[in-house]
């Protein structure tokens, strides 16, 4: 008996190597990510690929989807999908899945790490010891406490809730802002980011990116946060008006910031990176071996469910 043909899957962005081996064993792969002539590959693969593996770093627009007439599933291996036209996918009956549930803990941990590092000036203190300034200049200046302060979380989704739980355990009072109050949540709710910032000592941003949240952290919000305030961003660089943030940090209108994301990646504004009161991380909050493995596995699990005719694990639309 002739063996059944393996389903065809377009690879627009690869998974980790050992997970690519799993995909290779189960599916016929069409490597758009490696193709020198992407148009020719799409012309060949488009009519047969009902699923693709993609990532938030890949632009998927109507023109690309025109070349994939059989596509029914886009399994995204990242949490974010800012460059993917979700509305167009939905219009064409294509389902998007993502992996946000796989990275909640590491991203929440990084938000707390950036909060503490910014307020306690960890990077500067490290340099103070390494340079010998501790001997030459004496004890480092006093820094800012965190326990007992007010943590305002912008975006109380899975990651925001995980940040809230960590902050609550550290003795912070929690408030949040979002489109609507969350049912069953006892934290203080604020109707807009400026009101939350005015209440908070620390503003932690965990809202999705995209057009709807661009510039949400404005000069007005930063001024509301105030000269003793800390901004932490583990969402997307586009959520913050970066020029306003640079000015606020430079002028002392907020105390400090801890950032994992930037408007221009991987080349952030040098005016931002030159400031001493900002702690920087290279958009790597989910960047642990364990979490990246979970993200790859969840991508495969969604593909397997799709081809088995079972419910998808993490549909977005």
Q: pLDDT band for 3, please (50, 70, 90 cuts).
A: low
pLDDT tens-digit readout, 180-228: 999 999 999 999 999 999 999 999 999 988 888 999 999 999 999 999 9
**Arithmetic mean of pLDDT, 20-26:** 98
Q: Are 177 and 154 in contact (CB under 8 A)?
A: yes
pLDDT tens-digit readout, 204-213: 999 988 888 9
Q: What is the pLDDT of residue 19?
A: 98
Q: Are 245 and 223 in contact (CB under 8 A)?
A: no
**Arithmetic mean of pLDDT, 159-178:** 97
**Arithmetic mean of pLDDT, 253-266:** 97
Closest by Cα among 242, 234, 247, 244 to 202: 234
DSSP notation for 119-176: HHTHHHHHHHHHTTHHHHH-SPPP----TT-EEEEE--SHHHHHHHHHHHHTT-EEEE
Q: What is the pLDDT of residue 40?
A: 97
Closest by Cα among 253, 272, 276, 249 to 261: 272
pTM, full prediction: 0.92
Q: pLDDT band for 80, please (50, 70, 90 cuts).
A: confident
SS3 of residue 256 by DSSP? strand
Q: pLDDT band for 2, please (50, 70, 90 cuts).
A: low
**Arithmetic mean of pLDDT, 125-151:** 98
> Higher pLDDT residue, 3 or 111?
111
Q: Report the chain's terminal Cα–Cα distance, integer Å.
A: 39
CA 259, 263, 266, 267 dihedral sign is negative
Give the CA dihedral 282, 283, 285, 288, nearest 10 degrees: -70
Q: Are strands 28-31 and 202-205 parallel, antiparallel or unpaired?
A: unpaired
What does the buried/exposed string (b/e) look like for 138-150 if buried means 16 or more CB atoms within 10 Å of the residue's CB? eeeeebbebeebb
Q: Are 191 and 203 in contact (CB under 8 A)?
A: no
**Arithmetic mean of pLDDT, 267-275:** 98
**Is residue 1's pLDDT more than 90?**
no
What residues are annotated to the active site? Answer: 236, 265, 283
Q: How many residues in total does the chain contain?
A: 317
Q: How far is CA 89 from CA 61, 64, 65, 92, 315, in A?
A: 9, 11, 8, 5, 12
d(CA 12, CA 25): 18
In which residue are the tokens 């991987």 written? 266
d(CA 38, CA 43): 9
**Arithmetic mean of pLDDT, 69-86:** 94
d(CA 55, CA 283): 15
Half-sphere exposure of 133 (CA within 13 A, CB side): 11
Q: Are 32 and 54 in contact (CB under 8 A)?
A: no
- Sorted by sequence, the CB contacts under 8 Å of residue 274 that are 6+ apart come out as none
Element of type H or E holding 8 = strand 8-11
**Is residue 70's pLDDT more than 70?**
yes
Element of type H or E holding 225 = helix 219-225
**Is residue 234's pLDDT more than 50?**
yes
> Which of the 8 DSSP states describes residue 277?
T
CA 156, 158, 161, 166 dihedral sign is negative
């Amino acid at each position: 008996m002739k063996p059944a043909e393996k389903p065809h899957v377009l690879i627009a962005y690869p998974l980790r190597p050992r997970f690519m081996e799993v995909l290779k064993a189960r599916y016929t792969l069409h490597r758009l990510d490696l193709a020198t002539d992407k148009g020719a590959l799409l012309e060949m693969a488009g009519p047969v690929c009902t699923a693709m593996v993609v990532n938030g770093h890949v632009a998927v627009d109507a023109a690309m989807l025109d070349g994939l007439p059989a596509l029914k599933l886009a399994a995204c291996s990242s949490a974010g999908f800012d460059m993917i036209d979700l509305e167009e996918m939905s219009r064409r009956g294509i389902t998007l899945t993502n992996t946000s549930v796989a990275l909640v803990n590491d991203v929440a941990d990084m938000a707390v790490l950036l909060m503490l590092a910014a307020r306690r000036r960890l990077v500067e203190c490290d340099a103070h010891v390494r340079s010998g300034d501790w001997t030459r200049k004496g004890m480092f200046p006093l820094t800012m406490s965190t326990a007992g302060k007010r943590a305002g979380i912008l975006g109380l989704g899975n990651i925001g809730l995980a940040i809230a739980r960590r902050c609550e355990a550290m003795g912070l009072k929690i408030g949040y802002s979002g489109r609507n109050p969350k049912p069953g949540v006892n934290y203080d709710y604020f109707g807009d980011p400026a009101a939350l910032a005015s209440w908070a000592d620390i503003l932690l941003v965990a809202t999705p990116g995209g057009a709807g949240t661009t510039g949400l952290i404005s000069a007005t919000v930063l001024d509301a946060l105030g000269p003793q305030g800390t901004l932490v961003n583990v969402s997307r660089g586009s959520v913050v008006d970066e020029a306003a943030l640079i000015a606020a940090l430079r002028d002392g209108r907020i105390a400090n910031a801890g950032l994992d994301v930037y408007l221009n990646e991987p080349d952030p504004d040098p005016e931002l990176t030159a400031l001493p009161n900002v702690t920087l991380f290279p958009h790597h909050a989910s960047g642990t071996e364990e979490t990246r493995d979970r993200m790859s596995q969840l991508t495969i699990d969604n593909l397997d469910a799709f081809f088995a005719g079972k419910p998808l694990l993490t549909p977005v639309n």
